[in-house]
Structure 1
């Protein structure tokens, strides 16, 4: 149990570190995302190939899984865009609202009612985002893009829930990232036309940071997360995941001194968001335990 918790915290810390790497890499958001996915996809095909873990699927299934990967690619594109336009702290604060947004959007996909608690927590989150926005107007464009990144990651999560019962996790991972990379590659000429880049190929330390981003913060964290998932309770998993933006923001404060460019009210808004996420996480776990108890008694 202790070893699993350590692995989970390492994975969450590394996910928080992706924002720092995104700021450090000189490429624009589109090419940063493209190179990250290229390195990750090639590595996974080689690694899974040696381990005989590549499961053949139909073209229809590949399109189904690959589309979710395209949504994920767009999420990364917007996430790094928010970092480049604003900063790491703003991007991660917007991303931290995803748990509550998921609670409000999932009923639309799974046809269930939104309860009053979720509405109240959603309003509390909205208040937190509002405080962050109106007291940091110089980062308004980055906040808009960060919130779009949040919506895209929620959509990715919802679509993945429709896949997990039909395919193995490693099958979803490799075909999802492959499909996302192919779709992004098709999109890149249009992206380059709208947002022309000075550099298309990584320079100097960019190669190192991209390798860390792909191998450590993407592939290694996947294995750490999956291994921890087998040992830990859902509440522990979900609660620990809420630390991702906290880790990332602390790192941004230490490495880039972003606290000097943020309004003091930023911390109030972030605190309101984190409280809402914690309460929602706790409530969801209680509901799952109640449902499990009811099922076992029938």
Structure 2
């Protein structure tokens, strides 16, 4: 029998695998990125409402905090739209490689929101990340639009991750996600009604396979992954969780190569650039984890 700690580590890696699989679903679903994210957030919100009702989660919140969570919900919606947009106009490998630059943005955003000094080695790592992006751009210039969308998605992902870190100081993860998903749906609904194709018959005319993939994306890859990640973080340090989630692009790119070899096989320069970015992200996570463990030992009572 597996011990509880090993079970939680395996569970964590399964969640990271699921995160990487969301990119695969983005490729398989045929509708455009905006519609895809609308359906994802709508279905996830419905499942979240059921979860809130079932476990009687307290959703009371002040008007000021509600506005903050709603703005974060818009950021999440835009993050997913640009991420799936990158997949649609380029491919999974490009989107995930650019998404890996999120750690670079976080190194500048965290000092702003948490009022701490910028760590010198993070600037150095950021320059190496830029080098990795440069190598990819040089070799895959035909996917430039997808790269730009991927980088924007990475920035937005880092921004809402930092914001959620602040929100967790006052609210439960369930409350945060509920209001963020709900506001994201409302935001995209307004956008589609005013600037998009509108909610016509053709908008709701999606094939059976797309419906199946969307339900899988909203249930297993969104609602379940959220609830399970909260559970796992009770037993595994947040730094270990963050470090492990840095493997998401690796899992996703490997899956893409296996499932879509005709569109996902890239130039050698792409893989060198992607390796540089991923190596920096993982190394940065390892350093942070070691520092966390050192502080923990230092403050441990004798």
TM superposition score normalised by structure 2: 0.92
**What SS does the corresponding residue of 1:266 show, helix, strand or coil?**
helix
- Partner of 1:168 in structure 2? 172
Within-5 A mapping of 1:1-298: 1-192=5-196, 199-201=202-204, 202-257=206-261, 261-295=265-299
Contact preservation (8 Å) 1:100, 1:276:
no
Deviations 1:180-234 (A, max 9, x none): 21122122234416x9999522222110000000001001111221121111234
Contact preservation (8 Å) 1:76, 1:149:
yes
Contact preservation (8 Å) 1:234, 1:285:
no
Structure 1 residue 66: Cα displacement: 1.6
Judged with a 3 Å threshold, the aligned counterparts in structure 2 of structure 1 residues 234 and 59 are, in CA distance, closer, same or farther, namely closer
Contact preservation (8 Å) 1:104, 1:122:
no
d(CA) in 1 for partners of 2:59, 2:227: 18
Comparing 255-264 and 147-156, the one that deviates more: 255-264
Structure 1 residue 288: Cα displacement: 2.4
Judged with a 3 Å threshold, the aligned counterparts in structure 2 of structure 1 residues 113 and 36 are, in CA distance, closer, same or farther, namely same
Point out where structure 2 has 5 or more consecutive residues left out of the alignment.
none
Judged with a 3 Å threshold, the aligned counterparts in structure 2 of structure 1 residues 119 and 196 are, in CA distance, closer, same or farther, namely farther
**What SS does the corresponding residue of 1:192 show, helix, strand or coil?**
coil
**What SS does the corresponding residue of 1:112 show, helix, strand or coil?**
coil
Comparing 87-96 and 229-238, the one that deviates more: 229-238
d(CA) in 2 for partners of 1:254, 1:4: 27
Point out where structure 1 has 5 or more consecutive residues left out of the alignment.
none
Structure 1 residue 164: Cα displacement: 0.5
Contact preservation (8 Å) 2:93, 2:264:
no
Judged with a 3 Å threshold, the aligned counterparts in structure 2 of structure 1 residues 32 and 116 are, in CA distance, closer, same or farther, namely same
Contact preservation (8 Å) 1:100, 1:122:
yes
Comparing 4-13 and 52-61, the one that deviates more: 52-61
Contact preservation (8 Å) 1:30, 1:191:
no
Judged with a 3 Å threshold, the aligned counterparts in structure 2 of structure 1 residues 292 and 203 are, in CA distance, closer, same or farther, namely same
Deviations 1:68-117 (A, max 9, x none): 11100000000000000000111011111212321122212323222221
Comparing 81-90 and 175-184, the one that deviates more: 175-184
Deviations 1:124-156 (A, max 9, x none): 111111111110011010000100000000110
d(CA) in 1 for partners of 2:283, 2:233: 21
Structure 1 residue 258: Cα displacement: 5.2
Structure 1 residue 26: Cα displacement: 1.1
